[in-house]
Amino acid sequence: MLNDEMKETLVQTALAVRQWVYVPYSNYPVGAALLSKSGRIYDGVNIENAAYPMTICAERTAIFKAVSEGEREFEAIAVVTRDGGSPCGACRQVMAEFGLETVVLIANESGEVVWETTVEELLPGAFLPSNLQGSK
């Protein structure tokens, strides 16, 4: 399912949705496009807030949209920023919750993929649901 054409679709979707960002503080628009194992694409943008901790990143927006519609397994996520910036730690942890093998495509605003990796490579030693097994 994840071939070159689909990768391009994900990057172009993430690039296109950046028009919907709400970034009055950072002026750093981020778009994301998440491919579920069912084949559906969920998009997301970053949404800032004057109380900075309430801000949500594009990656988490896309993942939470997908999860809220019953998806739990993901194939890939494309993240587009002005300069090919990498997902933050919180986004990496949320991605890890749903699969270390998920492919991560990081692209700049020209649509050029500057890094193709996996969640596992982005977050080595991730804290996973299995870490909670048997704890009280």
Catalytic residues: 59
**Which residues are within 8 A (CB) of 107 and not within 5 positions of it... i.e. 6 or more apart?**
11, 14, 15, 78, 79, 80, 81, 84, 113, 114
Tokens linked to 122:
């982005």
Rounded CA-CA distance 39/14 in Å is 16
Q: Can you say how many angstroms the Cα of residue 113 is from the centroid of all Cα atoms in its chain?
A: 14
Rounded CA-CA distance 93/106 in Å is 16
Tokens 């692209």 sit on residue: 107
Tokens linked to 84:
């090919």
